[in-house]
Amino acid sequence: MSDAMSEKQKVALTALKRKADSDLNELQARKTRVRTRKSSALRVPMAYANGAIRITRTPGRKYAKNCVNLQDVIHKDQLESACIYSFFIAEEELYEYLPFSHSSGGVPIYIGRDPNFDVPTVQMASTLAGIKLQEKVSRKQLDSIRPALQQLHRQKHGQNLQTFYAWGPGSCHSKILLLVYPGFLRIVITSCNMMTIDTELGDNQWYIHDIPKRSSVATQSPAGFEADLLSHMEALGTPEAFLNSIRGAYDYSTVKVHLITSVPGACSGAKAEKHGLLRLRRIVKEMDLRLPEKTKKLQLEVCTASVGNLNAKWLHGFFDCALGKDALGTYDGIREVPKLKLFYPTMQDVKNADEAARDAASNIGCHTRPWGTAPREVKSIFHHYESKDRGKLFHQKLILAYNHLDSTQSPYYVYVGSANFSQSAWGALEHDKRGNESTSDKKLIKLANFECGVLVPGHLVEGLLEDGTESWQEGIVPHIQTTLPYDIPKDKAWNDYRWTKDYRE
C-alpha cells in the first residue's frame, strides 16, 4: 500500500514539477517581453536624422522652439560609448550625464581637453612625477604625466574612463560630442564649453546630426565630412580604440554641411585649404554664391566670445575669404575696414547683465587693446551685445552672411562652432613666394589653436530648425541684431581684469 502511494506521489510530484516549470517559463517569457517593451520604449530615437541647428535653452527660453540642453542630447542609460572633447570641462556639471562605473565592463567613456584647463589633476600628477610646471604645460611634461593623469581620473570617476589631451601653442579649443547609441552615432559640434554657464545659462549654438549605422562596415577609406571629422579627432589625440570603433561604421549621406577646422602651424598649397581662413574661402567659393557681386545687399555679421588684436589688414583678409573671393589682396598699410558688424559687449553691457552672467564674463575678452589707442576704424565695427533672453551673455561664435534688404530670404550661409574672431583661431594670410593659383598665391600663418565648426549653406537652414520655429533669425540668433555701434570714445569693450593685467587702461 505504501509503495503504491509512493508511486502515486511520484507521479503527482512530477506533474506538479512540470506545471511549476511551465509557469516559471511563462513568467520568464512575460518578463522578457516586458523588458523588450521597456527597452524598445527607452531606445533613443534618431531625433536629428537630417541634422539640426539649435541654441541653448536658457531660463527665459524654457518653452521656446529650437532650443536644447545637454539632457536633450545625452541619454546615459542608452549610451554604448561616448567621446567628448572640450576646451574646458566642469566635471561636476558634465559627468552627471555620463554612466561612469568603478567595476569592469562599463560603457567606454573618452574625455579630452586642453591640459592647461585640467588644473587640479595636472598639478597632482606633476607633483607625483616630480615635475615643476611652468605657466603652460609643455609637450614633454604632458607626455611624462599622461599615465598618472589617466590613473587619477579613473580612481576618481570610474574604470571605464579614458582621458586624452591635445597640445598646441595656443588653445586646444574644439568642442565636440560623439555619442554612440544603438543604431546610430550622434554628432554634436557646439560653441559651449562643458559647463552649466554655457549649456544652460548662456547664448550658444549647437549643430547636431544623428548618423545611422551601416549594415556592414565600409571597406573604402572615409571621405567628405567623415574623413574631415576623423582627421580632426585624431589631431586632438582621440584614442584609436574609439576612432576604429566608428570608422566606416556609419552612413554620412545625409550630412550636407561643411566642417571647418584649425590646427596649429603655418601651411601652404593644398594643405592650407584644409584649415582656417582658406578653408572658409574654398567652401564659400565652391558654393557659387557670387557674394562679391552682392555687396550692396550683403550683411556680414560676427558674434564672438573672444576678440583678437584686430587690424585693418586682417579684417580685409577675413572679409575676402568669407565672401569666397577669387583674388585675395595683401592690404599692406591700409586703414579703412570692410563692411561688417561685430557683436561684443561693452563694460556697461556686462554690468547690465544678470548676476550669473556677470560671474561668467571672465570667459570672454577682447585683445584689441589698449582700447584707447586702438584704431578708430577698427573700433567702428563693434556693436553692443544684448541677448533676446534679457540679462544673458554668451559664448557663441557665429558668422552670418545674409541679405539685409530682405528679412524673409534665407541667409547665404551660417557658421557655428568654436572659432573666435582672431588670427589664432582662423590664421592670417601671407604672400606665398612659391605661388599657388588655388589659394591666390597666399599661405596661412599664425594658426595657434585647434578649432572645429560647421558652415551651413543657407538653403539648408530652414530644414534644420524645429517645426514651428518663427524664423531662422529667431531659431539660431540668440541676440538682437539691431543694437547700436559703440559710442566712441565713451564705450569700451569688456575685459575682465585677468585679461588686462599686463595693460593699463
Distance CA 107, CA 76 (A): 9
pLDDT digit string, tens, across residues 190-217? 999 999 999 999 999 999 999 999 999 9
Q: By percentage, how much of the chain surpasses pLDDT 70?
A: 90
Confidence of residue 6 (pLDDT cuts 50, 70, 90): very low
Q: Which of these, 369, 318, 361, lies nearest to 339 by C-alpha position? A: 318
Q: What is the dihedral of CA 330, 336, 342, 344, to 10 degrees?
A: 110
Mean pLDDT estimate for the chain = 92
In terms of DSSP bridges, do strands 428-431 and 442-447 run parallel, antiparallel, or are they unpaired? antiparallel
- Pairing of β 306-307 and β 258-262: unpaired
pLDDT at 410 over 50: yes
Q: What would the grid cell of residue 459 be?
A: 538653403
3-state DSSP helix/strand/coil % of the chain, to nearest 5: 35, 20, 40
Show the cell assigned to 404. Answer: 539685409
Using DSSP's 3-state secondary structure scheme, residue 451 falls into strand
Asked whether the predicted pLDDT for residue 28 surpasses 90, the reply is no
Q: Give the tens place of pLDDT for each residue, 305-346.
A: 999 999 999 999 999 999 999 999 999 999 999 999 999 999
pLDDT of residue 34: 36
Confidence of residue 22 (pLDDT cuts 50, 70, 90): low
pLDDT of residue 234: 98
Span 268-274, average pLDDT: 94
pLDDT above 80: residue 502: no
Predicted local distance difference test score (pLDDT) of residue 2: 37
Active site residues: 173
Q: Are the CB atoms for 205 and 416 separated by under 8 Å? A: yes
Tell me if residue 305 falls in helix, strand or coil: coil
Distance, in Å, from the CA atom of 328 to the CA atom of 321, rounded to the nearest integer, reads 8
Residue 74 grid cell: 545625452
Contacts from 422-425 at CB under 8 Å and sequence distance 24+?
422/306, 422/307, 422/308, 422/309, 422/367, 423/308, 423/309, 423/314, 423/447, 423/448, 424/170, 424/171, 424/308, 424/448, 424/449, 425/173, 425/262, 425/276, 425/308, 425/449, 425/451
Q: What number of residues does the chain have?
A: 505
Residue type, 367: H
Residue 432 is placed in which grid cell?
606665398
Q: pTM for the whole thing?
A: 0.91
What is the structure's pLDDT at 133?
A: 86
Nearest to 403 by CA among 412, 391, 416, 414: 412
Over residues 53-76, the mean pLDDT reads: 97
- The confidence band for 497, taking pLDDT boundaries of 50, 70 and 90, is confident
In 10 A of CB 81, how many CB atoms?
18
All domains of the chain in start order, with CATH: 52-246 (3.30.870.10), 258-476 (3.30.870.10)
Q: Sorting pLDDT into bands at 50, 70 and 90, what band is 249?
A: very high
Residue 31 has a pLDDT of 39
Spatial contact of 163 and 100, defined as CB atoms under 8 Å apart = no
The cell for 268 is 601652404
Three-state SS at 448: coil
Distances from the Cα of 7 to the Cα of 19, 90, 441, angstroms: 18, 72, 101
Residue 175 labeled ligand binder: yes
**Average pLDDT, stretch 489-504?**
78
Spatial contact of 184 and 280, defined as CB atoms under 8 Å apart: no
pLDDT score recorded for residue 445: 97
Phi, psi of 186, deg, nearest 5:
-100, 120
pLDDT band at 233 (very low <50, low <70, confident <90, very high): very high
Q: Quote the percentage of the chain above a pLDDT of 90.
A: 87
